[in-house]
Amino acid sequence: MGSTLVTGVGRLRPAIERHARELLEELARLPQPVDLVERFALALPVRVLCELLGVPFEDRKVLERCAAVLLRRSASAAEVAAADKARSEYFARLVEAKDQEPADDLLSELVVRHVRTGRITREQLVSLGSLLLVAGHATTANQIALSVLALLRHPEQLPVMLAGPEAASCAVDELLRHLTVVHFGLRRVATADITIGETVIRAGDGVVLAIQSANRDPDIFPEPDRLDLTRRARAHVAFGYGAHRCPGQALARAELEIALPALFRRLPGLRLAIPFDQVLFAEDSFLHGVRELPIVWESAHGAAWERKG
Ligand code: HEM
């Protein structure tokens, strides 16, 4: 599955560019300020995942609602169960439809190559589709929104992001390192005794890995707290490490490399509509992120920003 995601990304680039352009055109027509999270950061990854999986565009709201509940730490057990059920039922119907009439998308390919040949069951494909959607949506959305915030706070670094594809790709790695949106700790079990410093971890012990700390290791990234978009930060572990390293990383990178320069080019003079200390961080989420990011750009009329919820 990982290789399908990686090899498919080149093919998806034109679609990512088109969706980014369309969303920015819609956004640019709205009265200011606009919430960047809702109108761009969340919307782009959903459209891209719908494209990848072959989810009809008009169904994306159902999936967005389920993902929002599943990522909210304060969601009740009943809410989580209901969202999980709705999502699985949706994917079950979708897989059935792809089996009836395969199209040019990942789910159809998996049905034809893996379900029909008996390599995986239909149920396994349903849970894989759900997993991809959850894993690929809020992660990328939070990374887009936090990256914009970081660039607004370090405007002197923006020219690097706009200096062409190679510089943008390097800048994206530094933003991934610096922001590390997956900050709940990856869980592993030690398979052998390991000594780290003066601590011995015994085979069979559970370990929680804080990748945000690894990404600020001064031996690997000198002055780790400093955001430096020209830094060669490719060795970061924002996508994890080892067998479970994120299979969507090529897609996420492509989205960021396309979305961030496109946004700053389309909205000159982009800035926050509120002081930084009023930005609402998503404290009830498993991921580092912001709940909303009110923005204005050139020719703003300065309407008051009302907080949601
Ligand atoms: C900026 C965006 C993203 C970040 C920071 C991110 C980060 C991560 C991390 C840290 C893991 C855990 C790795 C581990 O346990 O070692 C992971 C797993 C995963 N990611 Fe991503 N991810 C992103 C985007 C995506 C996208 C776009 C997709 C799919 C379209 C995706 C699909 C997955 C899947 C399926 C897993 C589970 C892999 C496994 O357990 O073997 N991710 N991701």
Cα angle for residues 12, 13, 18 (degrees, 5° grid): 100
- Domain of residue 6, CATH code: 1.10.630.10
Spatial separation of the C-alpha atoms in residues 280 and 292, rounded to whole Å = 6
Spatial separation of the C-alpha atoms in residues 12 and 18, rounded to whole Å = 10
Cis peptide preceding 33, ω within 30 of 0: yes
The tokens of 68 are what? Answer: 């929002």
Spatial separation of the C-alpha atoms in residues 186 and 149, rounded to whole Å = 26
Q: pLDDT at position 131, please?
A: 85
Ligand 1 atom nearest to 188, measured from its CA: 15
Spatial separation of the C-alpha atoms in residues 293 and 38, rounded to whole Å = 9
Spatial separation of the C-alpha atoms in residues 102 and 91, rounded to whole Å = 15
Domain assignment present for 302: no
Contacts 24+ apart (CB under 8 A), 183-188: 183/210, 183/211, 183/212, 183/287, 183/288, 184/286, 184/287, 185/209, 185/210, 185/211, 186/211, 186/240, 186/244
Domain assignment present for 40: yes
Strand residues in the chain grouped as ranges (E): 34-35, 186-189, 194-196, 199-201, 206-209, 271-272, 294-296
Q: How far is the CA of 149 from the centre of ligand 1 (A)?
A: 22
Q: pLDDT at position 270, please?
A: 97
At which residue do the structure tokens 């239909």 appear? 122
How far from 179 is each of 71, 150, 225, 288, 302, CA to CA, in Å?
18, 9, 10, 8, 29
For atom 16 of ligand 1, the residue with the nearest CA is: 240
Domain assignment present for 230: yes
For atom 24 of ligand 1, the residue with the nearest CA is: 136
Model confidence, pTM: 0.90
For atom 3 of ligand 1, the residue with the nearest CA is: 139
For atom 17 of ligand 1, the residue with the nearest CA is: 246
Strand order, beta sheet including 271-272:
34-35, 294-296, 271-272
Cβ neighbours, 10 Å, residue 177:
25
DSSP state for residue 33 in the 8-state scheme: S
Pocket of ligand 1 (CB under 6 A): 131-132, 135-136, 139-140, 143, 181-182, 186, 238-241, 244-248, 251-252
Domain assignment present for 304: no
Ligand 1 atom nearest to 251, measured from its CA: 27
Domain assignment present for 170: yes
| Nearest of 61, 79, 58, 59 to residue 69 by alpha carbon | 79
Ligand 1 atom nearest to 2, measured from its CA: 35
Ligand 1 atom nearest to 142, measured from its CA: 1
Q: How far is the CA of 268 from the centre of ligand 1 (A)?
A: 32
Ligand 1 atom nearest to 45, measured from its CA: 27
> Which residue segment(s) compose the domain that 204 sits in?
2-296
For atom 41 of ligand 1, the residue with the nearest CA is: 244
Q: How far is the CA of 209 from the centre of ligand 1 (A)?
A: 15
Domain assignment present for 89: yes
Domain assignment present for 309: no
Domain assignment present for 232: yes
Domain count, the chain: 1
DSSP state for residue 204 in the 8-state scheme: T
Ordered mean pLDDT values, 10 residues apiece, the chain (309 residues): 58 94 96 94 90 86 76 80 88 93 92 94 90 88 97 97 97 98 90 94 95 96 97 95 93 98 96 96 85 87 48
Ligand 1 atom nearest to 52, measured from its CA: 30
Q: pLDDT at position 4, please?
A: 47
For atom 35 of ligand 1, the residue with the nearest CA is: 132
The tokens of 195 are what? Answer: 């000594």
Spatial separation of the C-alpha atoms in residues 244 and 2, rounded to whole Å = 10
